[in-house]
Structure 1
Amino acid sequence: MADKRAEDDTEVRAALAEQGLEPTTNDDAVLSAYDALLRQAADYERAARAARERIQAAADAEAAADAARQRLDADIAEAASARDAAEALRAEATTELAQLRLRSEQVSAREQEARDGFTAQAQAAHAELDAELERRRQAAQIEEEERRRGLAEEHAEQVARLQEDQAALRRSEEELNDQRRAVLGQQFQLQRKLDDLEAEIQARAAADVAALDRELQVLRIQSDARIKTIDELRKQLADQEQQLLRIGGTDPQYLIDERDRLAADNAELRGKLAERLADDDLHRLRWLERQHREVTGERDRLAYRVQELEGAALASRINNLQLKQLSDAERHFEVVARGYESRIAELHGTVEQLTRDRPDPGTPLFPRCVAMDDDPQLNEPGAISAERPNLSQLARSLQAVMFADSRRAYRLNDVCVLLGGLAMSRLHLLEGMSGIGKTSLPVALAKALGTECTVVEVQAGWRDRTDLFGHHNTFERRFEESEFLQALYLAQTPRYRERPFFIVLDEMNLARPEQYFSVLLSKLEHEGEPIQLVTRGTGRAPQWFVDGWRIRLPRNVWFIGTANQDESTLEFADKTYNRAHLMELPAQRPWLPQAATVPEIEPYGAVALRKSFEQAKQTHRTDTTEVREFLEEIADDLREHGRAVMGPRLERQLEAFVPVVVAAHAGDPVAERPEGEDSGQDGRSLAADHFLARKVLRSLRGRYDVTPGGLNKIRDVVCTVWELRGLRGAPVRCVRLLDDEQRRREG
């Protein structure tokens, strides 16, 4: 009996723990009452007649358990529905966030389109103004020329027309200044509209982003609440399942009685607990909950207010910025207006001085070129050899003479490649580090050949043909002849017209040759009409000009451009590389043993030199075929791994280049110290290595669409086919170029 009572006490304490109540010392009375009930229950148990009633109670308990299970199933279904709703809200929030990002990108795109549109409009306005200014200048020139023709008829009429022209010029200048100020005003208005549009777009984007952030925060709070509800329902479900498991092994009637008793005890204990919490704690708890709700609402209201104030502050800063810009623009226009006024005064003074000190109409338009016509030394042709030079002897003689003049030699292979380049193209590009003799090479070559070489220093600001040839000074009625134009004319004088003539464009890539050298690039490719310098000539015309204002491109002229590769220079375009012969001089120049006598080179004519080139093409046709077959054998791999192909222009250059290099390299070797990497190459392998590296593989430089694996495959194919074709030495130029590109990609 005592063991039974101990078990019952344990069950009571467990029931109190399940209800969240801890037994105290005040519970002794409850336990005593419970002992009495147990004794009564023992009497009932001894009564077997209550079996039917207990069976019926068990059935009722089972029905109640089924009802509870159905309620649990309904709760589970509701929890699943809530989970699906939370997932839908999360997906909706993700979609809205993506839409927000898309709208932000669209706003940025519209802002860029607006900026590009206004910039294009401003550029169009500038272009239109420049075109109008050029038309007015041409009209002024035409009027000036017409007025000049009438000056010889009557002095009084000349004075009157001069005054009229001055008045017209003043009016034209005033109109141009008005138009320029109008264009500047339009540009300022366009810029101001662009700034307003940018500010409006930014403000709207900020407002949209803030609103979407608030909506996203609300959705996140709702999602968290739903998830918390699901967790609570899961916990209740687990508790009920535990209770069902416990019910399964106990007498139903006992459980019913126990439940009633525990319910009464629980009510009594809850009453006691409520009495203890009804004073300050319960009131404070409810007050804290209410304060929490009020503080949360106030926080949300203040956050929205902060966003509104930030938007207002942004708009205020934009307005202040616009006012500052207007003020700066006003001061700028005042400065510009004062500058225009002073410039107009200067122009008036210049016009008066020019009209007062007008040159003689008979003054030559090209005075320096005319001065060459009057130079007796330039009118004497001089002695030149009409025989075709032996290219092998010429190459070695050139190397020895250049070494004797400068005490530093150029390698024989470089001289042979240079002669091949003269046969291939009239445009040469010499690349390499500074101080290795790029400019001195053509100067020494011209001196050895007994001809002239003019060095023209290219400026970084050159943009068009006027920077190269010069420009027409309308007021002084003469052409500002550039050094380049004088060199072109010098090459046509009787002294040099039959000799090779070299014009060096030093630091050619300081500016873009595709802009200032474009006319000559076209003329070198397709020789045609002479180059027009002015629309009409006056005074004495140069003797070798065409129609007095056009100049031919002489066939005896070769253009040689030097190029450094550093941060101050620009890259040549492919159209320039494709038309030019490219050489890269080594950093170390060799030293030759002192020769007993320096050979004398007869001054050969350009025609005789070209005849030697043509003879080499006939003599070494087999070598050209061998090099072409070598390139054709690797063409598929070059196209697949490097997207490098040989077009018709390269085919023509190959036919002109290879035979001259082979002919120049033939003969006894030259002792050079130190020997170069390509010392084991003969003429054919030298031509193949140089042409493949500089004309075909050069297109791989700086192209990152060609992978390091592709470069390795090209290198292996070139070396393998080189050995299979029996070419001497090694393709050192090709391997060096591919290795440099490999290191550049690897870092």
Structure 2
Amino acid sequence: MGKRRTSNRPPSHRRTAQQAAADKIADLAAAAKQAEDDTKVSAALAEQGLEPAANDDAVLSAYDTLLRQAADYERAAAAARERRQAAELAEAAADAARQRLDAELAEAAAARKTAEALQAEATTELELLRVRSERVSAREQEARDGFAAKAQAARAELEDELERRRQAARHEEQERRRVLDEEHAKQVAGLEKDRAAFRRSEDDLHHQRQALLEQQIQVQRRLDDLESEIKAHAAAKVAALDRELQVLRIQSDARIEMIDELRQELAEREKQLLRIGGTDPQYLIDERDRLAADNAELRGKLAERLADDDLHRLRWLEQQHREVAGERDRLAYRVQELEGAALASRINNLQMKQLSDAERHFEVLARGYESRIAELQGAVQELTHDRPDPGTPLFPRCVAMDDDPELSEPGVISADRPDLSRLARSLQAVMFADSRRAYRLNDVCVLLGGLAMSRLHLLEGMSGIGKTSLPVALAKALGTECTVVEVQAGWRDRTDLFGHHNTFERRFEESEFLQALYLAQTPRYRGRPFFIVLDEMNLARPEQYFSVLLSKLEYEGEPIQLVTRGTGRAPQWFVDGWRIRLPSNVWFIGTANQDESTLEFADKTYNRAHLMELPAQRPRLPRPATLPEIEPYSTIALRKSFEHAKQAHGADTAEVREFLDVIADDLREHGRAVMGPRLERQLEAFVPVVVDAHAGDPVAERPEGEDSGQDGRSLAADHFLAWKILRSLRGRYDVTPGGLGKIRDAVCTAWELRRLRGAPMRCVRLLTDEQRRREG
């Protein structure tokens, strides 16, 4: 009993003030109880006039040991106060303070448990002392008979004293606990303030980083726009300069050619002048001036000695001179006329050449226009020759369905609500038997949940894994119809999907999609689920050619208008003869490959659709002894099953929502992802159907998938979180690899906290792949 107990608590440098105080309180309580029992034993011996025996020295030794332990605990408390002051000075950062506080609280709990164990041990030892005391009392029964009254009074006095001490100890313990609790509350409040400030600073830093990224993107876009604009201006300027250079080259060639021709013409004229006068015209003018001067000189000489014969001869010479001068002037004028005529002839030749070229060009155009006019006249004659009767139906194929007797009968369908668990397993077995394509039970359950959640499905995965075969096999197993429409890369608007009006033939070119939509409204199929598969849906942008239906799937509104007015016999199930409704029994299933030839779906399409990614590996199923029979269920019967599952498994939906609430802060902080009203409605419709369909005996699939350990609830939670929330993180520039890692850790922690079965393999794989892709 007097053996000194050793503590198994952590080293003193790791203890906090709360631990030291808890240790001290527990030890003092144990010492008080032991002192109380020892006092009772000593008092009983004193009443009988006996001294403590030698064999009772152990009791007093134990009491002394407890007193020494109390002193040790007091010193430990003083040391703990000093360590507490040192710890308060060491708290520098808010994040480190939070971590240390969590560790200290855990250690405090462990120390409190240790103190409780020590107190239990002390209680056991006190019980042993009490048993020994009763033995001593039994051996000394005769001696106590004479002193009974005195011993009773002394015992009562001792009990009162012990009760007072016990109350004082309780009061002191309560006071110390209150002080410690207040101090602990202050520390927690201070740390919470630091944590809130740290979070605010993190949010501010994230907002600033996001704003900086947006500014960088805007600047980069502006630089790209400026670079494109500069390139466009430069290209336009170069093209203009090239055109001007070409024009100048043409003009230069024409002028050089004209100069050559003028030089040749001038040489011809000079030859002609030499043949006519034999002398240059300027030489003749100079010669005339010289002869005039000589004539004047001769006249002066003749005036001195002039005779009649000489005068007559002089006059004749003057006459000859005048005639020669007149002939010379006439020849000069003729030369000028010939030069002008030659120039005019050159100009006329150039103009004639241009007119000739223009005439040949116009002749070519005229022949082309005449050929085109003849072709158009032939086409008009051909179209008008066999023009249909105005009474011909505008939608002949849809009218032909009205006349089909097989489509006029509804057939046998069951209105009873099917059991989703049996239906899922029957569908798996029947699809495997009919098409030899095995689909995992989990995929069938998720598909049924998707039918309840949305009327637009997107099946993604590798080429050749059965994305198109799945809805075809499902329709066959349910006893209904599935139409496959191949999407073309050039589709841009709804006319590519529904068809267009041929005004010449006065009929509507009904597309395969329009015919399938009308077939779903015939009496044969209007009560059954009907599937329309848009194969390779992302070869074109569905936000363009499928935009009308994206809106109608959420808000039905008015029927879809195909033409402005109808002619001839109208289809029976059209509205007003030229509008068609979107039937409520139609589900649209789009298949999508992710490669360089396809486009990415927009968020508005993903948000409205149920997304599935089929695995590349198919399971092997055991061949059943008898193939289950599936009744052709009506659309109303299926929806009754969906509603019944929603009412029966509301608790599972609440569990999945609580799981998402646990990680909501991390999704919002690190991924800017939130649960909107549309996702809330989809969650309430999806989870209960998956849980109900997955319930029941497991199917022996080989090899087992990665999600084989999941039950219905965990399967629904994993699929919904991965493909409806985390998928939106793909390609987001504001989500860092570190943020993706934190979201993955939060998902795994919340998964274990909510005790969900299996592992969140879809979420982990999606986040890991995206993180690896960003890190390169």
TM-score (norm. length: structure 1): 0.57
Pick one of 450, 453, 461 that aligns with 2:479.
Answer: 450
Q: 1:680 aligned to 2:712? A: no
The equivalent of 2:758 in structure 1 is: 729
Q: What is the aligned length?
A: 449
The equivalent of 2:520 in structure 1 is: 491
The equivalent of 1:403 in structure 2 is: 432
Report the CA distance between 1:583 and its aligned residue: 0.2
Q: Is 1:590–1:674's contact at 8 Å kept on the other side of the alignment?
A: yes
Gaps of 5+ in 2: 1-220, 252-357
Letter in 2 for 1:438: K
How far apart, CA to CA, are the structure 2 residues paired with 1:613 and 1:725?
25
The equivalent of 1:8 in structure 2 is: none
After TM superposition, the structure 1 = structure 2 runs for residues 155-170 of structure 1, keeping only pairs within 5 Å, are none
Could you give the per-residue CA deviations for residues 382-430 of structure 1, whole angstroms, max 9, x where no partner exists?
0000100100010000000001112231000000000000000000000
How far apart, CA to CA, are the structure 2 residues paired with 1:721 and 1:553?
42
Report the CA distance between 1:629 and its aligned residue: 1.1
Letter in 2 for 1:703: R
How far apart, CA to CA, are the structure 1 residues paired with 2:247 and 2:620?
70
Letter in 2 for 1:460: A
Report the CA distance between 1:332 and its aligned residue: 13
How far apart, CA to CA, are the structure 1 residues paired with 2:460 and 2:224?
44
SS across alignment from 2:406: coil
The equivalent of 2:646 in structure 1 is: 617
SS across alignment from 2:588: strand
Q: 1:114 to 1:404 in 2, by over 3 A?
A: same
Q: 1:386 aligned to 2:378? A: no
The equivalent of 1:707 in structure 2 is: 736
Pick one of 633, 639, 642 that aligns with 1:604.
Answer: 633
The equivalent of 1:552 in structure 2 is: 581
How far apart, CA to CA, are the structure 2 residues paired with 1:364 and 1:713?
63
How far apart, CA to CA, are the structure 2 residues paired with 1:738 and 1:530?
42
Report the CA distance between 1:115 and its aligned residue: 7.6
Q: 1:557 to 1:333 in 2, by over 3 A?
A: farther
Pick one of 521, 533, 536 that aligns with 1:504.
Answer: 533
Letter in 1 for 2:724: K
Q: 1:499 to 1:332 in 2, by over 3 A?
A: farther
Report the CA distance between 1:482 and its aligned residue: 0.3
Provide the identity percentage: 85
The equivalent of 2:455 in structure 1 is: 426
SS across alignment from 2:509: strand
Report the CA distance between 1:110 and its aligned residue: 7.1
Report the CA distance between 1:643 and its aligned residue: 1.3
Q: 1:483 to 1:729 in 2, by over 3 A?
A: same
Report the CA distance between 1:699 and its aligned residue: 0.6
Letter in 2 for 1:490: L
After TM superposition, the structure 1 = structure 2 runs for residues 25-424 of structure 1, keeping only pairs within 5 Å, are 112-113=228-229, 195=235, 197=237, 319-320=244-245, 342-424=371-453
How far apart, CA to CA, are the structure 1 residues paired with 2:365 and 2:666?
62
Q: 1:114 to 1:497 in 2, by over 3 A?
A: same
Report the CA distance between 1:323 and its aligned residue: 7.8
4+ residue stretches of structure 1 with deviation over 4 A? Answer: 105-116, 193-196, 321-326, 330-344
How far apart, CA to CA, are the structure 2 residues paired with 1:320 and 1:724?
79
SS across alignment from 1:583: strand
SS across alignment from 1:502: strand
Pick one of 591, 595, 601 that aligns with 1:566.
Answer: 595
How far apart, CA to CA, are the structure 1 residues paired with 2:443 and 2:250?
61
Q: 1:645 aligned to 2:674? A: yes
Q: 1:680 to 1:106 in 2, by over 3 A?
A: closer
Pick one of 585, 601, 607 that aligns with 1:578.
Answer: 607
How far apart, CA to CA, are the structure 2 residues paired with 1:411 and 1:541?
45
Letter in 2 for 1:639: R
Q: 1:529 to 1:322 in 2, by over 3 A?
A: farther
Pick one of 665, 676, 680 that aligns with 1:636.
Answer: 665
The equivalent of 2:616 in structure 1 is: 587
Report the CA distance between 1:705 and its aligned residue: 2.5
Q: Is 1:384–1:604's contact at 8 Å kept on the other side of the alignment?
A: yes
Q: 1:622 to 1:342 in 2, by over 3 A?
A: farther
The equivalent of 2:694 in structure 1 is: 665
Could you give the per-residue CA deviations for residues 330-368 of structure 1, whole angstroms, max 9, x where no partner exists?
999999998776544432221222222211111110000
Report the CA distance between 1:374 and its aligned residue: 0.5
Structure with the greater alpha carbon radius of gyration: 2
The equivalent of 2:470 in structure 1 is: 441
Report the CA distance between 1:710 and its aligned residue: 0.7
Q: Is 1:111–1:198's contact at 8 Å kept on the other side of the alignment?
A: no
How far apart, CA to CA, are the structure 2 residues paired with 1:644 and 1:460?
32
Q: Is 1:423–1:656's contact at 8 Å kept on the other side of the alignment?
A: yes
Report the CA distance between 1:547 and its aligned residue: 0.6
Letter in 1 for 2:541: R
Q: 1:110 to 1:423 in 2, by over 3 A?
A: closer
How far apart, CA to CA, are the structure 2 residues paired with 1:599 and 1:318?
80
SS across alignment from 1:378: helix
The equivalent of 1:460 in structure 2 is: 489
How far apart, CA to CA, are the structure 1 residues paired with 2:721 and 2:602?
19
Could you give the per-residue CA deviations for residues 255-303 of structure 1, whole angstroms, max 9, x where no partner exists?
xxxxxxxxxxxxxxxxxxxxxxxxxxxxxxxxxxxxxxxxxxxxxxxxx
How far apart, CA to CA, are the structure 2 residues paired with 1:431 and 1:419?
17
How far apart, CA to CA, are the structure 2 residues paired with 1:686 and 1:625?
15
Q: 1:740 aligned to 2:744? A: no
Q: 1:513 aligned to 2:542? A: yes
Q: 1:447 to 1:332 in 2, by over 3 A?
A: farther
Q: 1:110 to 1:500 in 2, by over 3 A?
A: closer
Could you give the per-residue CA deviations for residues 498-524 of structure 1, whole angstroms, max 9, x where no partner exists?
000000000000000000000000100
Could you give the per-residue CA deviations for residues 584-642 of structure 1, whole angstroms, max 9, x where no partner exists?
00000111011101100000000110111011111100111111111111111011111
Q: 1:199 to 1:469 in 2, by over 3 A?
A: closer
How far apart, CA to CA, are the structure 1 residues paired with 2:618 and 2:663?
32
Q: 1:335 to 1:427 in 2, by over 3 A?
A: farther
SS across alignment from 2:407: coil
Letter in 1 for 2:680: E
SS across alignment from 1:695: helix
How far apart, CA to CA, are the structure 1 residues paired with 2:719 and 2:760?
8
The equivalent of 2:355 in structure 1 is: none
Letter in 2 for 1:397: S
How far apart, CA to CA, are the structure 1 residues paired with 2:364 and 2:484?
43
Report the CA distance between 1:107 and its aligned residue: 12
The equivalent of 2:507 in structure 1 is: 478
Q: Is 1:408–1:590's contact at 8 Å kept on the other side of the alignment?
A: no
SS across alignment from 1:386: coil
How far apart, CA to CA, are the structure 1 residues paired with 2:476 and 2:250?
63
How far apart, CA to CA, are the structure 1 residues paired with 2:659 and 2:248?
72
Q: 1:107 to 1:449 in 2, by over 3 A?
A: closer
Report the CA distance between 1:645 and its aligned residue: 1.4
The equivalent of 1:694 in structure 2 is: 723
The equivalent of 1:269 in structure 2 is: none
How far apart, CA to CA, are the structure 1 residues paired with 2:659 and 2:362?
68
How far apart, CA to CA, are the structure 2 residues paired with 1:332 and 1:605?
72
How far apart, CA to CA, are the structure 1 residues paired with 2:508 and 2:439?
40
Q: Is 1:704–1:745's contact at 8 Å kept on the other side of the alignment?
A: no
Report the CA distance between 1:196 and its aligned residue: 5.1
Report the CA distance between 1:114 and its aligned residue: 7.7
The equivalent of 2:562 in structure 1 is: 533
The equivalent of 1:99 in structure 2 is: none
